[in-house]
Structures are given as C-alpha cells and as structure tokens.
Amino acid sequence: MSKVIKVENLSKAYQLGQFSTGTLSADIHRWWLLSRGKEDPYIRIGETNDRSVKGVSDIVWSLRDIILKLSKEML
C-alpha cells in the first residue's frame, strides 16, 4: 500500500475592499487618517502613495500555483 499526497495549483487570494484591514478599529483609524489628508498606513505592497491613481488590482495573492508532492519514501 503506497501513501502519496499530491497537491497541484494551490492558490490563496484575498479580495480587498476600500477598508479591508481586518479589524474595525484599524478600518476606523485608516478612514480617520485618510479623511484628514494623511498617508495611508495600510498601503498595499508595491504601490506608491499617489492618491490621484487607483491601484491596479484589489487582489493580493498569498500563495499562487504551489505544487506539493509527498510519497511514502519522503515520510
């Protein structure tokens, strides 16, 4: 009896909203700073803090196209 685990094309993405920091207090903090013209403390990685241009995507990938292969010999 062989034991094999195979996972292909595993991906995890997060859809971001206008205020999607994860907690209500952080969302309120972000709203308060942005409404006063301050910098966004929750800016997306790789984006500049240019308020005249919207970000190119509301999706952040934490995993993308991961392949895992485990067999009995590896365990």
Q: Residue 29 belongs to what domain range?
A: 4-71
Structure confidence at residue 52 (pLDDT):
65
Structure confidence at residue 45 (pLDDT):
61
Please answer whether residues 18 and 12 qualify as being in contact, where contact means their C-beta atoms are separated by less than 8 angstroms.
no
Q: Is the pLDDT of residue 63 over 80?
A: yes
Q: What is the mean pLDDT of the chain?
A: 75
Q: What is the pLDDT of residues 16-60, one digit of tens each?
A: 665 566 788 888 888 888 888 887 777 766 655 555 666 666 777
What is the total count of domains within the chain? Answer: 1
How wide is the angle at C-alpha 43 spanned by C-alphas 37 and 18, nearest 5°? Answer: 80
